[in-house]
Structure 1
Amino acid sequence: MARRFIVVAVSMLALSGCGISQANYDASREALRGSPSLRSDFVRNCTRNISRKPYATRRNIAKVMNTSVRNTPRLYCSRLTRGITSGRLSHSDIAAASRGQVTPAIIRVLQGR
């Protein structure tokens, strides 16, 4: 049950703009760092959600990421997960993304740099 909550919390944080506290972000990041199974669940849920985005949105993300539209959902989610777990994406980066703003850190992570 706790694992499912963390997956849902992190998914909402990263994908829907849910206002998550710094403490919950930090706890979710630590849970993702320590659990390969949790990371897999997160990537799977994220990929499903990104795959449902309109084609134009996926195409624009693909351009930023320098990849094909077909590969975008999985690659986006994998890079996002690595960015969160490595600490390269901060709570403020994710909060900015939830407001429709893009930070340099987000661009670097999505481009795999």
Structure 2
Amino acid sequence: MKYIINLTFLMFLSSCTYSVHQFNAGDVVRPLPLEKMKLINAEGEQFSFLGFTFDTNYVLEAVEKLNEKCPGGEIQGINTRFSTAHGFLSWRNKVHLEGFCIPGS
């Protein structure tokens, strides 16, 4: 019986959850055929342990990564997803950016 209780307790300690906090959808101002638009994406994340956060500029880094994937073009229709993955005494904030790169004229 003690083994089952210890195993159950260990299972609760190692459990995790995942939640999406916010999703924003952008619009394409200058629609083109899909063949001329390139779908690009970038991610950034922040790790937190016991409430101590590291890398507080993870959203800015994700935006810079997205801009690097569309040099000389325009990014439209940006979708943004902000989520958190919870672990034992820690969590990971994630931002996922996705948009269409429209080449410059």
> Over alpha carbons, which structure has the higher Rg?
2
Please report the TM-score for the alignment, with normalisation by the length of structure 1: 0.24
- Structure with the larger RCO, 1 or 2 (CA within 8 Å, 6+ apart): 2
More helix by share: 1
Please report the TM-score for the alignment, with normalisation by the length of structure 2: 0.25
